[in-house]
Structure 1
Amino acid sequence: MSLDRLDALETRIRDLVKLVQELKRKNGLLEEELKTARQQLAQQDDMNRRWEMERTDIKTRIEKVMSEIELIECI
């Protein structure tokens, strides 16, 4: 193998090592973004559940008041 070919191979290997390092760095960043997104989604799910419970409670209370109003109207 000539020195020129060896130099070219060495350059390609260095470039590949740099590429692998960059991909690992980007992968780490993406994993952090995914973790953050999952945490935000979990928080949003919790908030949606609370709102749904509050909505159900309000609906029940309104129905009760409406029933009481109907009773008053009947009297």
Structure 2
Amino acid sequence: MALDRLDALETRIRDLVKLVQELKRKNASLEEEIKTARQKLASQDDLNRRWEKERIDIKSRIEKVIGEIELLECVEDPKEVALD
């Protein structure tokens, strides 16, 4: 009877060792996925910063051109003065 219990314990320990090994493999895989995801996120953050800078630059240039157009409109439209 003691041998049966020892065999059962040995089987359970082997199963636990297999489980621990499998969990370690999965953990390593997940850590690699996290590392890859973080690298992609950092790359996307850089890209987003560049796009935001470009958007601000374009907005500034458009506002400057609109200001110049408005200035031209003011110069071209002489104010009517009543001559009474």
TM range (shorter): over 0.9
Number of equivalenced pairs: 75
Q: Percent identity?
A: 81
Q: Paired residue for 2:8?
A: 8
Q: Paired residue for 2:81?
A: none
Q: Tell me how large the CA RMSD over aligned residues is.
A: 0.8
Larger fraction in helix: 1
Higher gyration radius (CA):
2
TM-score by length of 1: 0.98
TM-score by length of 2: 0.88
Consecutive unaligned residues of structure 2, counting only runs of 5 or more, are 76-84
C-alpha distance in 2, partners of 1:56/1:25?
47
C-alpha distance in 2, partners of 1:14/1:69?
81
Consecutive unaligned residues of structure 1, counting only runs of 5 or more, are none
C-alpha distance in 1, partners of 2:71/2:26?
67
